[in-house]
Amino acid sequence: MKAQKWNYKTKKYYDYDLPEGACLYSDDMDKIVACAQCGRKITFGNGYTSRQIHTKYGFRYVVCEKCYEKEWREEQENDQNRQGSIQDKNSGRIRLADEKTR
């Protein structure tokens, strides 16, 4: 089955082949499903909503706790890198503005 996986560095979705048994939704919280990232077998009720793996309409697949934490860390690291580059750009503008007033 195909899905889309978000790449935090490129800020783009890429086609992603899901492991067999990956799941979007279930009424049965005890249903055994595959983690959409690593394929590990988990019960649906113990899964987490993926931060990266979605349908083309934005519905998210279930991932295990370990993979969810990895996705969360990647997102946070990328946000920190982005914030750092924004701060660097802003401090550069401030210096230029200060230099013009001297």
21-37 pLDDT, tens digit per residue, is 999 999 999 999 999 99
Nearest to 20 by CA among 48, 1, 5: 1
Residue 63: beta bridge partners?
48
As separate numbers, helices (DSSP H) first and strands (DSSP E) second, the chain gives 1, 6
Placement of tokens 């007033």 in the chain: 101
Separation between Cα atoms, residue 3 and residue 42, nearest integer Å: 19
Q: Give residue-wise pLDDT tens across range 46-89.
A: 999 999 999 999 999 999 999 999 999 999 998 876 655 544 44
- Token pair 């899905």 is found at 3
What is the percent of the chain with per-residue pLDDT over 70, rounded to a whole number?
Answer: 78
Q: What is the pLDDT of residue 1?
A: 72
